[in-house]
């Protein structure tokens, strides 16, 4: 009987368990809430709320491919080194591929909007930029500029902007309060249109901007001058080379650059006045006079020696710069057309006039000669903030600040929704005072360079640039550009001399002569 009950109850229990399990499975289960990405329209297109927060974020960037013919990456003119010599090491073209990513966050608070912004770049360029000279691309040499990351599978990552904005203050790496909104790009794509200041990849700073209403704002800031605001200081007791350069004798940074602007934005355009104060200081009177030769180990030129600290140094000087910038909109040539221009003056702050996306260049270009007995012609210009000659070397021991004037601008025209062009240019003048000229010229002709009877020494020089660019935008955010730029160096030396120029150029007689060069840059860019 017990066995019978088990046989009957067993299947029944199993049926009951199966039924209860099925009923349990059918019970409603509360699903996790789904958080949809919501558009944030308060700060313009592309922003969205970070799920679960009241912070808006925008992710953007571009992918860009550049090729420069007869120049270096980023549209660098062939104005010095192997490119200026146009020797057998010079690359006839240089290419660069780059992707930029940016992250912009905004949060509304009782103190106003808190903003963070970061921008980084992934880049691969031609090894050596525009030269295959072992002195430039061999990273094992102490004189080399190491570019070994630009090898197959390589490349590098760089930072452009990193800053926080809060209650009118900006902290971090951002555009200088001195800069115009278009920086060094009134209408061009080359990173080397001279004639004014350029901090388009950001400078370490702290600044405050006040809004006075009706489109009037004012900014004041402290900029770290180490990267963006210094060129070179020359101790003229050290030998100048054939192109008027020597080791950089700048001292350490003791004070930030004090910068500021007043700006007016209206429907007709923009007007801005900027000013900067820049400290110029030097290391010591006695410095190493001879740099280590290529491939050797030794002190570089202007490096300290055991006698440096005992020798003293010139007193620190303060220089500075001023700039006026103007944009004119709604001109009669067509919708969206405009004119952008700025004019700058500096004393002891030449980077505010001869500025680029990298260090300020000095210039040395070779060409054909017409003087009897000359191997070739040469034109050069040294970019400095100041020069000095110690008293022990026959000078006055004071810093002589370099003066520079620059103007640049562009006319930008839209042919139709797909085609646009810009005509742009610049002019720069660099001047040394009488004492600086005397010290530099005495140094340059010692040891004797067998100068010609009509020889004249004058380190002043002028630069001119003129270019045109045409852009085609077949679809939104995709642009193809072609830019041609001419560069002219108006140097003030006359006659000829026997010069020991940089290898592979020989020691020979060179005629001093103005020089011209040009380059072509092509670009494809997709913004997102």
Tracing tokens 């030129």 back to the chain, one arrives at: 301
Concatenated DSSP letters of 244-297? S---B-B----SPEEEEEEEEEETTEEEEEEEEEEEE-B--SS---SPPPTT--
Quick: pLDDT tens for 188-243.
999 999 999 999 889 999 999 999 999 999 999 999 999 889 999 999 999 999 99
Report pLDDT for 20: 42
Quick: pLDDT tens for 274-308.
999 999 999 999 999 977 665 566 788 899 999 99
Using CA atoms, how far residue 389 sits from 54, 130, 165, 256, 320, in Å, is 61, 35, 45, 26, 22
Quick: pLDDT tens for 379-437.
999 999 999 999 999 999 999 999 999 999 999 999 999 999 999 999 999 999 999 99
Quick: pLDDT tens for 55-110.
999 999 999 999 999 999 999 999 999 999 999 999 999 999 999 999 999 999 99
Q: Enumerate the domain spans of the chain.
A: 35-167, 206-288+314-528
Q: Quickly state the pLDDT bin for 136 (edges 50, 70, 90).
A: confident
pLDDT at 15 over 70: no
Tokens of residue 57, six digits: 């974020």
Q: Quickly state the pLDDT bin for 9 (edges 50, 70, 90).
A: very low
- With a pLDDT cut of 70, the percent of the chain lying above it is 90
In which element (H, E) is residue 308 found?
A: helix 308-311
Report pLDDT for 151: 78
Cβ atoms of 116 and 122 within 8 Å: the answer is no
Mean pLDDT of the chain: 91
In which element (H, E) is residue 440 found?
A: helix 434-444
pLDDT at 149 over 70: yes
Three-state secondary-structure class, residue 352: helix
Tracing tokens 């939104």 back to the chain, one arrives at: 476
**Of 72, 88, 499, whose CA–CA distance to 80 is shortest?**
72
* Residues linked to residue 56 through DSSP beta bridges, in sequence order: 49, 106
| pTM for the predicted model, two decimal places | 0.89
Measured distance CA(397)–CA(80) in Å, rounded:
30
Q: Quickly state the pLDDT bin for 169 (edges 50, 70, 90).
A: very high
pLDDT at 272 over 80: yes
What's the CATH fold of domain 206-288+314-528? Porin (2.40.160)
pLDDT at 141 over 50: no
Report pLDDT for 392: 96
pLDDT at 23 over 60: no
């Amino acid at each position: 009987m017990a066995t019978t009950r088990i046989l009957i109850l067993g299947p029944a229990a199993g049926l009951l368990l199966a039924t209860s399990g099925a009923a349990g499975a059918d019970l409603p289960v509360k699903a996790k809430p789904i958080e949809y990405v919501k558009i944030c329209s308060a700060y313009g297109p592309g922003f969205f709320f970070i799920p679960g927060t009241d912070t808006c974020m925008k992710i953007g960037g571009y992918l860009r491919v550049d090729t420069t013919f007869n120049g270096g990456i980023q549209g660098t003119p062939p104005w010095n080194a192997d490119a200026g010599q146009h020797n057998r090491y010079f690359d006839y073209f240089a290419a660069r591929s780059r992707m930029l990513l940016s992250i912009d966050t905004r949060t509304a608070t009782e103190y106003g909007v808190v903003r963070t912004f970061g921008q980084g770049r992934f880049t691969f360029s031609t090894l050596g930029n525009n030269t295959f000279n072992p002195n430039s691309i061999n990273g094992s040499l102490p004189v080399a500029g190491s570019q070994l990351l630009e090898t197959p599978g390589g490349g590098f990552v760089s930072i452009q902007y990193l800053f926080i904005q809060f209650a009118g203050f900006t902290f971090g790496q951002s555009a200088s309060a001195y800069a115009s909104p278009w920086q060094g790009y009134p209408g061009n794509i080359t990173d080397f249109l001279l004639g004014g200041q350029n901090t388009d990849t950001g400078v370490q700073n702290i600044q405050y901007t006040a809004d006075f209403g009706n489109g009037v704002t004012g900014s004041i800031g402290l900029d770290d001058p180490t990267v963006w605001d210094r060129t070179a200081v020359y101790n003229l007791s050290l030998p100048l080379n054939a192109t008027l350069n020597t080791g950089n004798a700048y001292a350490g940074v003791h004070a930030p650059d004090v910068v500021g602007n007043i700006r007016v934005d209206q429907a007709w355009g923009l007007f801005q006045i900027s000013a900067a104060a820049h400290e110029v200081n030097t290391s010591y009177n006695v410095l190493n006079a001879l740099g280590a030769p290529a491939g050797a180990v030794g002190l570089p030129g202007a490096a300290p020696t055991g006698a440096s600290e005992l020798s003293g140094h010139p007193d620190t000087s303060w220089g500075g710069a001023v700039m006026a910038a103007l944009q004119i909109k709604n001109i009669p040539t067509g919708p969206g057309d405009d004119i952008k221009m700025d004019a700058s003056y500096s004393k002891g702050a030449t980077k505010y006039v001869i500025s680029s996306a990298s260090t300020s260049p000095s210039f040395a270009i070779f060409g054909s000669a017409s003087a009897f007995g000359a191997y070739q012609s040469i034109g050069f210009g040294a970019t400095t903030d100041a020069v000095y000659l110690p008293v022990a070397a026959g000078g006055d021991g004071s810093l002589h600040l370099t003066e520079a004037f620059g103007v640049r601008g562009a006319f930008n025209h839209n042919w139709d929704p797909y085609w646009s062009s810009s005509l742009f240019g610049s002019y720069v003048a660099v001047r040394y005072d009488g004492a600086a000229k005397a010290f530099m010229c005495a140094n340059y002709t010692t040891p004797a360079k067998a100068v010609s009877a009509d020889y004249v020494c004058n380190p002043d020089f002028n630069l001119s640039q003129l270019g045109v660019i045409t852009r085609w935008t077949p679809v939104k955010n995709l642009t193809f550009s072609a830019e041609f730029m001419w560069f002219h160096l108006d140097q003030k030396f006359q006659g000829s001399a026997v010069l020991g120029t940089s290898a592979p150029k020989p020691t020979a007689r060179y005629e001093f002569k103005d020089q011209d060069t040009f380059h072509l840059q092509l670009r494809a860019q997709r913004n997102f």
